[in-house]
Amino acid sequence: MKVIFDTNILIHIEDPKELSKNLQDLMKIFREHGHQIFIHPISLKDLDNDNNESRKKIILSKLDGYPRIRSPPKPTNDFLSMVGGSSNSNELNDNEILFSILRNAADFLITEDYGLQKKAIRANLDDRVLSIDSAFDYFKNLHARNALHHTLLKEYFLRDLDIEDPFFDSLKDDYGDSDFRDWFKRKSIEDRKCWVYRENVKIKAMLMLKEENETIPTFPLITASKRLKIATLKVDMPGSKIGELFLKMAFQYCISNNIFETFLTHYRKPEDRLIPLIESFGFEFMGLLEERKGRMEKEEVYLKKFIPKEKDVSSFDIAKKFYPSFIDSSSIRKFLIPIIPEYHDRLFPDFMKRQMRITDYSEINIPGNAIKKAYLSHSSITKIRPGDILLFYRSHDRKAITSIGIVDREPVHTNDPDKVVAIVGQRSVYLYDEIKDMTQKPVLVLLFRHHLNLPRPPDLNYLRNHNIIQYAPQSIMELNHNQYVAIKKGGKLDERFTVG
């Protein structure tokens, strides 16, 4: 597999200093599995601006042992319009590197440059542009010898957590040590609960929710309405998908409790990782909270709605902005996808409990419980496009349609396992050896967002009786709109979240 490394990381590797544990382990994985490290030639142009010839010569000598990407593609105008930011040479260079990933000159880019990571989100390449920590987690799981492990989330009373845990240090910085301790004490007395992920005893991620029906004191004022406040969403594991899982849990709470808006407040950081994540699921900046006494920074408010009012928006945009709502009119194509129980369990681990309650997230598979997923098939179908509806049929045991997803990227056919890995990125629930076995024949890669499970999965008898299919499907097949309507009706799909 070809991986472009940011030159700053490579310079650090070549320095006679101790490397971080994750970077050491990542390099070990690369050596063991033959992944190749490349430099994009445009990166070396940054060194031309260094007037210290002696230092420049030393750095170039350290980088000389790494191969270059040959004849890298030049960004198109459409790409530059999408990612923006070409006002200086550094951003121009970043755009060239990112475009090389889009055009598959390499499979992944590893960088600690937040600006580059943010551009990757705009280009829909965030699954292939990784930090050191997220790259280590990804490649470690990719080459695991056993099935992906389950990560444990636990519910705690806030009072049972140690306020001196380093996890809370950044929150003390945001809100002021005294104010945060007062808040922690008040919420502990109120018996507030939260969801926590721990690693080696230390807190690594936390989610706290609160129902509200109050005005939000921004300018202009946001009028009172029933909403879910994401009071705390903090993850100290970049690229782990836990943040996406926490959003899914919050959305599920809203669905289960007839709440159609959710919001959070946030102090923006110079290299902010939360804002790109929430914006990708439809949160919009609404304004600034009234000034907190003694603070110069402004606390921003982001609001998400679940039910769209506008009708003249594309199916892809509706599915993104108003998730889990989606367009299912007669103009939208629908496809039935058979999936064996083993892969169904990995891809939809929440199905057995149907629409999971928040209390059901006690033992979870992070990639499987995230919203963005990837499915691999040997189907030769070429009709599927972004915005199309996917209906997953669990074969063998349940023999029923269980789950609905919306395609969010252009499907790809390939028999190159490294290309499959690069496309699915951090969405993967497949091990590398499984991908190698599957790509003995051409593979269809479908990237989609999981929207809803059907409360009453229509089984094969129902599908026969309503002239949808007569036999268990063996490959992906297109359904007409009337067949889809019968499935939606029989499955008791919550039509509050469909736009006809």
The chain-wide mean pLDDT, for the chain, equals 88
- Beta-sheet strand order (sheet of 227-235): 284-288, 299-305, 261-267, 227-235, 202-212, 193-199, 151-157, 363-364
Query: Which residues sit opposite 136 in a β-bridge?
Result: none
> Which of 3.30.365.10, 3.40.50.410, 3.30.465.10, 3.10.590.10 would CATH assign to domain 324-499?
3.10.590.10
Choice among 210-214, 369-373, 432-436, 466-470 with the minimum mean pLDDT: 369-373
Alpha carbon distance, N-terminus to C-terminus of the chain: 43
- Tally the C-alpha atoms within 13 A of residue 184's C-alpha that lie toward its C-beta: 19
Distance CA(258)–CA(419), nearest Å, equals 42
pLDDT grade for 172, boundaries at 50, 70 and 90: very high
pLDDT grade for 8, boundaries at 50, 70 and 90: confident
- Compute the average pLDDT of residues 270-297: 81
User: β-pairing, 400-407 with 443-453?
Assistant: antiparallel
Nearest to 428 by CA among 365, 379, 386: 365
- Fold classification of 151-305 (topology level): Aminopeptidase (3.40.630)
Distance CA(112)–CA(476), nearest Å, equals 40
CA atoms 13, 15, 16, 21: torsion sign: negative
CA distances from 277 to 19, 203, 272 (A): 29, 21, 10
pLDDT, position 239: 67
Burial of 372 (0-12, 13-18, 19+ CB in 10 A): buried
pLDDT grade for 365, boundaries at 50, 70 and 90: low
pLDDT at 409 over 60: yes
pLDDT at 494 over 70: yes
Structure tokens at 221: 């004022």
- Is the CATH code 3.90.650.10 the one for domain 2-142? no
Distance CA(132)–CA(124), nearest Å, equals 19
Structure tokens at 406: 């919306």
At 372, which helix (H) or strand (E)?
strand 372-377
Q: Look at residue 415 and give its three-state secondary structure.
A: coil
pLDDT digits (tens, 9 = 90+) for 284-329: 999 998 765 555 568 899 999 999 887 667 888 898 899 999 999 9
Domain ranges of the chain: 2-142, 151-305, 324-499
| CA 9 to centroid of chain Cα atoms | 24
Reported pTM: 0.77
**DSSP symbols for 441-454:** S-EEEEEEEEEEE-
